[in-house]
Amino acid sequence: MPDACKLAAGNWKMNGTRADLDEARALANAFPEPGCGVLLCPPATLIAAMAEAVAGSAVMVGGQDCHAATAGAHTGDISAQMLADAGARHVILGHSERRADHGETSADVAAKARAAHQAGLVAIICVGETEAERDAGQTLDVVLGQLGASLPEGATAANTVIAYEPVWAIGTGRTPTLDQIAEVHDALRAAVPDTAISLLYGGSVKPANATEIFAIANVDGALVGGASLKAVDFGAIITALATA
Ligand code: PEP
């Protein structure tokens, strides 16, 4: 059975202008052979410029969302083909901020993932429980339910990554216990259609906690928000993953 690939993925969210491309260049220079996949997902306005800035390096560039359609009357939206054309290789889908702020359902996420696959992009599909759901003992039901409804047919390790992101851990500085992360990742590993699909943990991953999180079985990397904005912080997380 092939092992899942390690991936350190950074989600810049709605942060960054061209001046911040120096952070991407610094990463590219610091990690010519990182020992794991390295991905930055900047705002759509920066994808093409970042892809150019890191061209020829190990750093990959991705989007944070795409529309399910290939083209048409969808003001403000971006298709998967457009992301690929701009230099993206991955796209984050179903992030909890999209699910909460834009009412995205798991069916929407599955449709977007189909579009991403058709465009040749790797879909990073996010799942995770709220604090109320965890307190109610519903974590595994919620996460596995989202997974089942968000994964399109034909999802394989070549075109799909799963990110487990407890909603209450995103941007809060709080993280689940290592046992709680392990419980969810073990359940995800048993549920994914291809056992080599990479499983990322996301939610307040920092240089200080990365090593212990990456030591957990079935954690193949991280989806990192705040700590991916600065090359020095993200670089420490990359090093922790590469040496895990
Ligand atoms: C995220 O946005 O996916 C995330 C995990 O954010 P942070 O690392 O800032 O908690």
DSSP character for 229?
S
Give yes or no: 165 in active site: yes
Give yes or no: 95 in active site: yes
Q: Where is 62: in which H helix or E strand? A: strand 59-63
Contact in structure between 50 and 42 (CB atoms under 8 Å) = yes
pLDDT value for 1: 56
Distance 47 CA to ligand 1 centre (A): 19
Q: Strand 221-224 relative to strand 90-93: parallel, antiparallel, unpaired?
A: unpaired
Max Cα–Cα distance, the chain, nearest Å: 48
- CB-ligand 1 contact for 175 (6 Å cutoff): no
Which of the residues in the chain have pLDDT under 70? Answer: 1-2
Nearest protein CA to atom 5 of ligand 1, as residue: 203
| pLDDT tens track for 120-173 | 999 999 999 999 999 999 999 999 999 999 999 999 999 999 999 999 999 999
What distances in angstroms separate CA 18 from CA 15, 47, 53, one per listed residue? 11, 10, 10
Mean pLDDT of the chain: 97
The domains found in the chain, sorted by start residue, are: 7-13+35-68+77-227 (3.20.20.70)
Distance 228 CA to ligand 1 centre (A): 9
Report the candidate in 119, 165, 186, 158 with the shortest Cα–Cα distance to residue 37: 158
- CB-ligand 1 contact for 226 (6 Å cutoff): yes
Active-site option among 90, 95, 117, 185: 95
Question: Can you count the helices (H) and strands (E) in the chain?
Answer: 10, 8
